[in-house]
């Protein structure tokens, strides 16, 4: 009888998942067996939106982690236009997975940005944080920005980026993984209370 219960529990758990959806910054993240990473190199927020709409699964989606926006920084859109696109993405994710918790990571820095693009990145992150916190109740904003910057506060740390200066290396991916793990642990503990 205990074995039957354990098998049932295992099968139930396997039918639940957490997709981590994003641009190439999400690629190669090892976030555990229940986290399905969907990473599209070169994708902008609008591309990820189309991915969310097309995505099919027969598993219950408990949480969705979004790691997007890095490629939008170098595009012609303004920080405000990025926030509009991100807001549209969040509305779509909430409609698509109504019972899922949505975890939004700040846009990660990259080494190839000029000072004006770094300013755009900072502005976009400030606006996104405000948007997620005030307009999307139930969504979580994960601010891990400071772990990716040098002490000066504006230059990206080279030791968390790959040799291309754009993608995360093992240490950078570990920071994202730790932030997500901490969030799930903290969230689970707060639900138990």
Q: Is the pLDDT of residue 6 over 50?
A: no
Q: Which pTM value belongs to this model?
A: 0.80
Residue 86's pLDDT is what? 94
Angle made by CA atoms 113, 179, 67, in degrees to the nearest 5 = 45
At a CB cut-off of 8 Å and minimum separation 6, what does 155 contact?
149
The torsion defined by the Cα of 45, 46, 47 and 52, in degrees rounded to 10, comes to 90
Q: Is the pLDDT of residue 52 over 60?
A: yes
Give the C-alpha separation, 23 to 124, whole Å: 17
Choose from 10-19, 74-83, 92-101 the range with maximum mean pLDDT. 74-83
Q: What is the mean pLDDT of the chain?
A: 79
Mean pLDDT to the nearest integer, 151-163: 79
Give the C-alpha separation, 21 to 65, whole Å: 6
Mean pLDDT to the nearest integer, 101-109: 88
pLDDT higher at 161 or 17: 161
């Amino acid at each position: 009888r205990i074995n039957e219960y354990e098998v049932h529990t295992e099968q139930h758990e396997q039918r639940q998942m957490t997709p981590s959806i994003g641009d190439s910054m999400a690629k190669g993240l090892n976030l555990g067996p229940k986290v399905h990473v969907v990473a599209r190199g070169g994708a902008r927020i609008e591309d990820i939106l189309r991915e969310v709409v097309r995505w099919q699964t027969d598993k219950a989606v408990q949480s969705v982690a979004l790691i997007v926006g890095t490629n939008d920084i170098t595009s012609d859109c303004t920080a405000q236009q990025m926030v509009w696109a991100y807001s549209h993405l969040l509305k779509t994710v909430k409609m698509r997975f109504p019972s899922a918790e949505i975890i939004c990571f700040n846009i990660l820095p990259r080494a190839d940005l000029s000072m004006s693009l770094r300013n755009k990145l900072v502005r976009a992150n400030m606006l996104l944080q405000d948007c997620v916190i005030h307009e999307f109740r139930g969504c979580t904003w994960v601010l891990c920005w400071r772990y990716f910057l040098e002490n000066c506060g504006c230059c990206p740390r080279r030791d968390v980026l790959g040799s291309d200066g754009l993608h995360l290396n093992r240490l950078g991916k570990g920071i994202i993984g730790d932030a997500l793990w901490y969030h799930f642990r903290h969230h689970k503990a707060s639900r138990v209370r």
